[in-house]
Structure 1
Amino acid sequence: IEVFGKMALEGHIYRGRKPVHWSPSSRTALAEAELE
């Protein structure tokens, strides 16, 4: 949570128009091809 807060304060996190599918186990965003 500390890293997320730092990223938000630095402007790296913003509300966009498209959802980001996140994998908590690998801690990375998933490609749309991986969701099918």
Structure 2
Amino acid sequence: IEVFGQMALKGYIYRGRKPVHWSPSSRTALAEAELEVN
């Protein structure tokens, strides 16, 4: 946790907006590599 805090203070970690691909059947988030493009 200490390293995480140091990274946040240095600006390496930030909160941004990004779409979350959600699977309703498994009720989990999907990685972009798991998506099927039609």
- TM-score, structure 2 normalization: 0.49
Runs of 4 or more consecutive aligned structure 1 residues displaced over 2 Å after TM superposition: 1-16
Q: Could you tell me which runs of 5 or more consecutive residues in structure 2 were left unpaired when the two chains were aligned.
A: none
Q: Which has the larger radius of gyration?
A: 2
Closer, same or farther in 2 for the Cα pair 1:32/1:7, shift >3 Å? same
Q: Please identify which structure carries the higher helix content.
A: 1
* Percent identity over paired residues: 92
Hey, what's the Cα distance between the residues in 1 that align with 2:33 and 2:26? 16
Query: CA RMSD of the aligned region, Å?
Result: 6.5
- TM-score, structure 1 normalization: 0.51
How many residues were matched structurally? 36
Q: Could you tell me which runs of 5 or more consecutive residues in structure 1 were left unpaired when the two chains were aligned.
A: none
